[in-house]
Every structure is written in C-alpha cells, then in structure tokens.
Amino acid sequence: MTTPHPFENLTPSFIQDAIESLGYLCDGRVFGLNSYENRVYQIGIDESEPMIAKFYRPNRWSREQILEEHQFCFELIAQELPVVAPLIREGESLFTYGDFMFALFPRKGGHAPELDNMDNLFTLGRMLGRIHTIGASQPFIHRPEIDIASYGHESVQLISEQFIPAELKTSYDTLTTDLLRLMEENWQICEPINRIRVHGDCHIGNMLWRDDAPHFVDFDDARMAPAIQDIWMLLSGERESQQAQLLEIIEGYSEFCDFNPAQLRLTETLRTLRIMNYAAWIARRWEDPAFPHNFPWFNSVRYWSEHILELREQLFALQEAPLQLYN
C-alpha cells in the first residue's frame, strides 16, 4: 500500500481547525491557491476580511530557517517597504498544528508588473536597492546560500543517476560537465563575492503591482546570494533589450545601494543554475501527487531532450561577454 503524502492530510476541516486553534472563526470558505512547494489557501473569516494561510512543506525548512524568512520580512516592513509579511498573533508568526508549521498573511490584490515599461523597471530597481541595503546589514545564520554545489552539482547528480533516459545520458553528462566547469570559472573570477540576504525568487509572479508600486510576496526561497540574483530575472528579450532594462534597473537601484558591476558576469551562471535546480526540484517532488498532475510532461524523453537543448544554449551564453553598465 502506498503511503499517503503528508499534504493529503490538509483537508478543509483540518485547515479550518488549524486556523481556529489561533482564535479565529472560519466561515467555511477555503480556496486553494497556486502553490506547489507549500500549500497556500485563502480562508474566509467570519465578519472579517479573508486571510491567506501557508502550510509549509514538511522537512524542507527548519523552524529556525522559516523564522529567519519572517524576520527578514519584518525588517523590511519596519523600513516601510511594500512586502507582504506574516501576521503576528500573540507575539508569534509561525504556528504548529498536527504535523504542519503554518503562517498567516493578509490578503493583498494586484497584478504582475509590466517589465517592458521602463518606469516600472526603475521603480523595481529602487525597491530592490532598498531591500538589499537591509539584506546586507546582517547575514542569514540558518538559511543556506545559492551556490554551484547545491543548485548545480547536486541537481546534475540526481538527474543523471535517476531520471535522464539512457539514450540521452551521455549527452547530458558531457554537457553538464562542461557547464559546471564554466560556471565555476566564472564564479572564481568574481570572487570575493559579497553575498547578502536576497528574495531569491524575484520573478513577476512574486510581485503584486498596486498603488503604483510593486509589493513583494513569498520570501520562501530567500537565501544568501549575490545581489544580481534578484536583478537578472527582471531581464528579458534580446541582448539589446536586456542592456536597456539593466541600465534602468541599476539607475533606480543605485539611489539606495551600490551595485558591483563585476557581478554581471554571474548572470548566465545563475540562470543556468536555476534551470538545473528547477528540473531537480520537480524530480525531488515527484512523489507529491500534485507534481505528476501539474507537470505531466515532466520525465518524458521529449522533456529531457528540450532540457538538454536549453542547457546547450546556456553553454553558448556562458561564453559571451556579460552585459555592461554603460549608456
């Protein structure tokens, strides 16, 4: 008999019992929101605004690591930055019910920012500059770094040993060996790299544009990393477009925080690590029923062929000159 996945215990009644254990009165409305790593729900509260409940994936982060995420958010809120931070109940922001740790958040509306709008990019740059100024004020103690070892080598080893089809294994192993070597060379050239607390997953899905400003949400992937980690994901299109976007972002960023242009060499390294880690992330979660359901194309020969093609494109990108800070 297959052992049920822990998330299968998150029934509507369990979720409402968890919320009501904190003294709230649920009105019976429980709506699942788009989240795979954790489970996130909008919960109706009797005679009050709905709230968002986030149930953390068991055995992913320790209590200390989650609280570091929360503390970072509280530091940002204290400086009047537009982030969606956990709610505090009787002095606590992280709660336990059954086998789950969970947190509550206010419900906020908004839409994704328009990254082809230069004014938006300038505003995003200013916000990231403020976030990174606070992120650089002290390190995470319990949360790990974004590095080539965990995002690169460990991801490649998992895929190579357990997931890549036999007919593609030689191509994958040869390609990833070259990629890892190039990334390590790029990383070494940039040392010493100033690692700070960053959002870590700074794409448009984790921003809500409202009141003419971005509101940053979901710091679940916050780690120690170079500042460029929160910048490169805002760049898109051909090189000329990315160059213009970068200049706009850094112009706003530099109003609050100095940016080391040497980190631009890490852009394609970090992009490659994200691609590798994303594939490994799905692989590690494949026993979670939500993953085969939502990623039915994963683990097919076609998927791995396209994955290898994407990595091959990164091999060329890693050998190109990085973007520059010039007009």
- Residue 217, phi then psi, degrees to nearest 5: -125, 165
Tokens of 282: 């799905």
Distance, in Å, from the CA atom of 105 to the CA atom of 74, rounded to the nearest integer, reads 12
3-state secondary structure 23-46: CCCEEEEEEECCCCCCEEEEEEEC
Distance, in Å, from the CA atom of 184 to the CA atom of 147, rounded to the nearest integer, reads 10
Under 8 Å between Cβ of 130 and 216: no
DSSP code of residue 220? T
Q: Is 186 annotated as a binding residue?
A: no
Amino acid at 34: N
Q: Is 218 a catalytic residue?
A: yes
- Residue 150, phi then psi, degrees to nearest 5: -80, -45
Q: Is 221 annotated as a binding residue?
A: no
Phi-psi region of 47 (alpha: psi -120 to 50; beta: other; left: phi over 0): left
Q: Where are the beta strands (DSSP E) in 99-205?
A: 100-106, 195-198
The single residue of 178, 201, 211, 258 carrying the catalytic annotation is 201
DSSP code of residue 100? E
Amino acid at 87: L
Q: Is 46 a catalytic residue?
A: no
The single residue of 27, 147, 212, 218 carrying the catalytic annotation is 218
Distance, in Å, from the CA atom of 280 to the CA atom of 307, rounded to the nearest integer, reads 12
Under 8 Å between Cβ of 235 and 246: yes
Enzyme catalytic residues: 201, 218
- Residues annotated in the binding site, as ranges? 206, 218
Binding-site annotation: residue ranges for Mg(2+): 206, 218
